[in-house]
Structure formats: structure tokens, C-alpha cells
Structure 1
């Protein structure tokens, strides 16, 4: 253990934690609303499902390339590197790059961590990447302080070893993308952190389903002036005739002086609809997704919805992208290649404005000489123009000159001889 590690308290006995607060509360999802919330039940809330799907599909759909630094300060794609094909096309024979990234991003949003097993050849180069379920992974340290990953494998996950058991993997055999956490090693589940808010959303949804299942009428009491001999028969007869949304607003016929007394609280008094709407915004706030992207257009308009979409890319998607890029570079690129290679997502397509705004920006860039025709055509997914046709030329307006040369032409003209 290094002296620096000892100074800052990182000892080999320190073990990353995978739980928040009470282990029982984290595992079984106990909430104040009474609804059990975990990473799987939370997906039953439409707002959670929508936020996870939006972010997972956004990251999965972005162009992902491997680049090399050039000596002139620029960059170029390295399409002949084996890692390029794995990241851009197929990380393993069973998955496309889109499905692989979508799966890992959903794990990251639900469990706070994303894991993938890295298959390497004898020289350390990556051959394949396979996602691993975060709820089966435990991160710990060896006696020497090195991180190790213990994966609990089910019998369905291995045909070679049909018996369930654990597999221990080294740091270089795992691609680990951690979310927000307290120790910099393990991310904590957003679902566990916000389980009460999600539990309340599930509770209100269940209440609404039960409300309509009972004929969209609050519960009540049947009053009889005498003594009922068969209470269950009367109850079953009433429910069979008036319970359920299909029997709503039917005319009730009461006999023998029987009266119906409603005792339930009407939904408008219980702020039912307002509560459900607020929980949608609450869950969108957890994932930092604009409400209009999950179907809440109450405060959105044509004037601000484009700005909200750009803020989504800048403040929501970009931090996730940086987290992905740095984790991929740290885990997959060989130490000898790290000074020259890097992984980069392309967000330009999401940051583009409408057609008129793009054309105005391209015209400014073209006239001021920092974009060529081919640079613009590549951004618009158009074929390049050959160099003979001027596709790579950088042009500037002829009436522009350096400030130091202003008036030079006049000073060089012969002066008129005075008479």
C-alpha cells in the first residue's frame, strides 16, 4: 500500500458498500407508502419506465467511435483497431452495440452501476464484452488492496458449469461504470435513494385502479332498519350488481327500507389527480429528464420546448456520456495505447437546431473560413465533394484583411505631383 493511500485512509480493509442505510430496507424496498419498491417493481411506474427508456435509448443511439490523436493537434478515426468494431458494431456475437449500451445504461439508471465482463486474448486486447447483472455483483478488496469483483452465477448463465456458484474477476476483466456514490468506487441506486417518491407513485396508481374497479364510487355502508339474517348474501348480491367500472352509474334498487351511506373520501378532496401529476414531475426530477419528454406538457410551449431539449443534452445526457467515455478508456484501452487513443460519443446530432438555424450557422462558418464544404456535408450526412471540385477549400470574404495591413494599399500608391 502506497504512502499516499495511507495518508488518505484507503486501506486494504476498506470495502466498497453496495447498500444504502439499512440493508433490510434497501433489499426489500420498504417505504412509508407501504409499497415495496426495488429496481424491478419501480419499472411498473410509467414515469420511471419512461425516464429509463429515454436515457438508455439516447446513450445507445449516439455514434460511438475510437479516435487517435494526430501530430498536428487534430484527431482521426481508427477504424482498423479491433476495439472500434466492438464498440461501434458488435461487442459480442449475441448483441449489437445499441442493445449492449442500452442494457448497461438501464442497469446504471436502476442499480447505480453497470458491469460487463471483458474477454481478452493473450496480449491483453479486448475480444468481447458481455453485460453482467449488478444485483449479482459484489465488489471487495484483496489483502493487498486490489479491487476484485465476485459475481454470483445462476445455473442458467453457464452451460459449462451447470451448478450455481460464484466467479471472481480481476479489475482488468471487468468494465465497471459507476454512478453517483460516496466513495468513488460504487454507485448507489437512484431507486433506493428515491424509493418513497416512487412508492407513492405506485400507491396512487393502485388507488386509482381500485377506485375504478369499485364502480368509480367511494365505499359505503348499507343500512337496514331490521336484522339481516344472511349478511354475506346481501353483500355478494350488491357487489355483483354494482361493483366494477362496467357497472358504474347504474341505478341501485334498495328494498326493505335499506339505505346506502357513502363514507369514502372523493378523489378531488384527496387531491388524487394533483398527487399523481406531482409524482410524475418528482420522478422526472430524480433522473433530470424534462417533464415534456415523459408526456407532461403543462408548462411547455413552442417557445421553450426546444431550449428544454438542448438543456437535456447539456445538463442530463452529457454527464452520462463523459462517465461512459472515461470508463471505456480506463478499462478497455491498453496502457501503452492510452496516450494516443480515446473513445468519443458524437452529440452534434442532438445539439443541432432547426434547418434554418443550421444553414445560417453553416453560412457563417463557411464565409469566415473555419469550415469547408465537406465539413458541412459530413455534418448533414451528405457525400463528400472531391478535392478537384473544391470540397476541401477554406474560403474567406475578399474584403477582409488584417488590421495591421489596413491602408497599406493607399500608402503604396504614387503621390500626385503638385503643380
Structure 2
């Protein structure tokens, strides 16, 4: 093939998705379908590379991204304004509170927007949304910006976002009008680390384990074999292997376990015992690697091989304290800054208590204790249970059964007689004494 022919071929290959490049070369006759360089073509010249599509095909990665994005989307989101009164900050309703908590625009709910937003954060590593304001500067809509169409640049210390619309027109947004959350920013605060690409080798291990399991247990139960024979050329060997694959597959489908072999050829079955190959431990280890990437306790990736009641409960606490809390604070501060600006008395807050909604008994007990110990008013407790306020429910109450030991039984009973030594004795009735003397 001449130089121009190779250039046209390379250009045609570059224009297709990485996972389809091998098939293009095979179809064009430029690469044998059994060549060992298929992995290099798929992975850009390295056996450790992984595409986003491949990573999502690994159940642990799929589960981690779905779980974290749904957890962040399910947290109640509210808007408050700082007050100087001792009664606490004021919860705001309507306007931007409805945009953030109910519907970010006419066609997207708050849950759907946040779920898609954080799926981009935990997948490609970054998510953007444009803030639309009215003439008074109040937020009226939020619109998602596709990760692949957005480019970030810095001019004199300020960020600008170039977004290529489907029409091909590029529109530039100022940093103050774009909600931007990255999995991990690089030192220039312009580019970010992609968790999938950064940890591609660990994810590749899991993908290879899954692929090997398919090789062992797939193909209608036909195990892998080694073909031995008087081969003199690589093409001859690959052709014989291809013919044998067709025969064994047909035999498995027809239920005929006996294969005739030509003279001088031998077919040796490879070991396919999962325990001897450590196939199960390798896949468990791969799930653990994904859990480390996303700082998730393994139980939330459905890895329960070492789970019990006690450590699962502690993993639940770990999730809130060390994983979700980080993303909650990052999201709260980003929304507060971009929506209200620096120095505003208004702020956005996500309620982590909402993650306990599934445990009704624990939630009720916590509210009751808070009300009985003057931490919450009854109406505040009812609000946490989505109940309407009642008259008299704005008063703080506290239990009166706990008193100093020396006052036990007398401190709160006005009709009880005083204890010995607690005070002077009553004066005798003089009229009664005179009558008795007489």
C-alpha cells in the first residue's frame, strides 16, 4: 500500500469509535482477525487503556456511578437566609428554592438534573450547568451542558466556558454563570483528573477477569484448549485453530462431545476450575479496587463476602461521614457562590438526614429524643416528618424527672410534707393547747 493509501486508511480508522477500529482494519484486510495486535488497536497502543464505554460495562463501575449519583440526587435541597435573631436562619420558599428543589427548568426535575450531573462527575470526571437569570438577576432556569461539548479556559485568572451547540455555533459563558463540579481538579484549576482514565489499569484488571470468565464458561460451555500439531507457519496454525473452533462450537450445540482429530494433532484442555484459577478472588479484588477509586464501602457495590451486621452498619456511617459529606459540601458551596455570589446572606443546604428516611424507627426515636430534650420544638419535629404545624407546638419542652438526689420526691410536689431538717416545725395552735389544759 502506498503512502496516500495508508493515510486514507489511518484517517478512516481515526474517525470511528475506538471500540470499532479493530473491525475496520479486519474488514479492510489490513489486519488478521486473530492477530495479537487487536488489543493495541482497541486501547490506543497500550494493553492498559480503557474507554468510558468499556468501564461502564464493568458492573462495579456501573454500580458505583449509579449509586453515588442517585444518593446525591435524593438528598433534600433547601435555601436559607442568615438572620441576626436567636431563632435561627430563615428557610426560603419559592423562586430559586423551587428551581433547585423541584424543577430546574420546564422539562427537567431537580432529581433528574442532579442525577445526570453527578453521573458526569463520577464518570468522565466533570459536570457543567448554565445558570439563566431574569433582568433582576434572579435564577429562573438551570440547563445542563454536555461534557464533550464544553471547553474550559482561563483568561487573566478568570474562567470561561466555551460550549459548542448542536448547530456548531460556539457560545461562551462567564465562570460566574456556570455550575462546575470536578471529581479532582489539577493545580491549574482548569483541567481535571478523570477517575476512570486515571485508574485505567485497575479497571482493566476487572474487565480482563470478566473477559476470561466468558472465555472459560462461555461458548456453550466449551472450555479453552491448546492445539498441538506439526505446524510450520503461523498462518497455518491460526487457520487450523479457526477450523477447530467452528467444529467444537458445532459439536457443543449438537450435543456431540467426541471430536475426530487428524493424525499428528493433539487437543489438550486447559484447567478451568475457578478455585484453582482464583477467578472468584480476582473478581472480588476488582470490586474492591473500584470501591477504593470512589471511596465507597464495598457493601454498596454489593460485595458482601466479608459483610456482617456490625461492619455493614459502620460502613453505612463511613459512607455519610467520609464520602457523601465531601460531595455535599462541595455542591453546597458551588451552588451558593454561583447562584447568590460572594458575601450573600442566602445559602444552599442539602439535608443529609434525608438519607435516613428508609429507617423509620431510628428516625422517629431521634426526633422524639430531640423534642424531649429541648433540641427541637414539636412543630420542628413534625416538619421533619412532613406533617403540618399545630397550635402550641412552637414551645420547647424538657423532661423534669432528672433532679438532684437530695431533692428527689420533694422538689416538684407542693403537697408533700417537708423532710426532717428541711425547715422549722409548725408553731402549735395556742387555742387547742388551752382547751386541753382546762
Scaled to the shorter chain, the TM-score interval is 0.7 to 0.9
Partner of 1:123: 136
Partner of 1:339: 344
For residues 35-56 of structure 1, give each alpha carbon's deviation from its aligned partner in whole angstroms, at most 9, with x where no partner exists.
Answer: 5413333212111110000000
Contact 1:213–1:244 (8 Å) recurs in 2: no
2:369 to 360, 364, 368: 364
SS of corresponding position for 1:369? coil
Decide which structure has greater helix share: 2
Partner of 1:167: 171
For residues 145-180 of structure 1, give each alpha carbon's deviation from its aligned partner in whole angstroms, at most 9, with x where no partner exists.
Answer: 322222233xxx3xxxx3x24322212221112332
Once residues 135 and 348 of structure 1 are traced to their aligned partners in structure 2, the CA distance between those partners, rounded to angstroms, is 35
More moved, 326-335 vs 352-361: 352-361
5+ residue gaps, structure 1: 1-27, 225-229
For residues 51-99 of structure 1, give each alpha carbon's deviation from its aligned partner in whole angstroms, at most 9, with x where no partner exists.
Answer: 000000011111111111232241222113x211211111122211111
1:137 to 150, 158, 161: 150
Once residues 289 and 244 of structure 1 are traced to their aligned partners in structure 2, the CA distance between those partners, rounded to angstroms, is 45
- Structure 2 CA distance for partners of 1:119 and 1:364, relative to 1, 3 Å: closer
Partner of 1:302: 309
Contact 2:49–2:197 (8 Å) recurs in 1: no
More moved, 194-203 vs 209-218: 209-218
For residues 210-253 of structure 1, give each alpha carbon's deviation from its aligned partner in whole angstroms, at most 9, with x where no partner exists.
Answer: 333444412221658xxxxx999976664334228954985214
Are residues 1:193 and 2:198 paired?
A: yes
Partner of 1:416: 425
- Structure 2 CA distance for partners of 1:116 and 1:246, relative to 1, 3 Å: farther
- Structure 2 CA distance for partners of 1:247 and 1:325, relative to 1, 3 Å: same
Once residues 245 and 168 of structure 1 are traced to their aligned partners in structure 2, the CA distance between those partners, rounded to angstroms, is 62
Partner of 2:163: 151
Partner of 1:76: 90
Are residues 1:262 and 2:262 paired?
A: no
Once residues 171 and 105 of structure 1 are traced to their aligned partners in structure 2, the CA distance between those partners, rounded to angstroms, is 19
Contact 2:49–2:201 (8 Å) recurs in 1: no
1:212 to 190, 211, 217: 217
| Structure of higher RCO (CA pairs closer than 8 Å, 6+ residues apart) | 1
More moved, 63-72 vs 341-350: 63-72
1:60 to 65, 70, 73: 73
SS of corresponding position for 2:267? strand
Once residues 294 and 239 of structure 2 are traced to their aligned partners in structure 1, the CA distance between those partners, rounded to angstroms, is 51
Once residues 184 and 320 of structure 1 are traced to their aligned partners in structure 2, the CA distance between those partners, rounded to angstroms, is 21
Once residues 175 and 260 of structure 2 are traced to their aligned partners in structure 1, the CA distance between those partners, rounded to angstroms, is 74
For residues 268-327 of structure 1, give each alpha carbon's deviation from its aligned partner in whole angstroms, at most 9, with x where no partner exists.
Answer: 444333212211110111111121111111111122222211211111111101110000
- Greater radius of gyration (CA): 2
1:324 to 319, 322, 331: 331
Contact 1:241–1:247 (8 Å) recurs in 2: no
How much does 1:397 deviate? 2.7
Partner of 2:125: 112
Partner of 2:246: 240
Once residues 170 and 325 of structure 1 are traced to their aligned partners in structure 2, the CA distance between those partners, rounded to angstroms, is 20
Please tell me the root mean square deviation across aligned C-alpha atoms, in Å.
3.5
- Structure 2 CA distance for partners of 1:249 and 1:212, relative to 1, 3 Å: farther
- Structure 2 CA distance for partners of 1:37 and 1:386, relative to 1, 3 Å: same
Q: TM-score, normalised by structure 1?
A: 0.77
Once residues 185 and 233 of structure 1 are traced to their aligned partners in structure 2, the CA distance between those partners, rounded to angstroms, is 54
Q: TM-score, normalised by structure 2?
A: 0.74
SS of corresponding position for 1:40? helix
Q: 1:276-315 maps to which residues of 2 (within 5 A)? A: 276-315=283-322
Contact 2:81–2:347 (8 Å) recurs in 1: yes
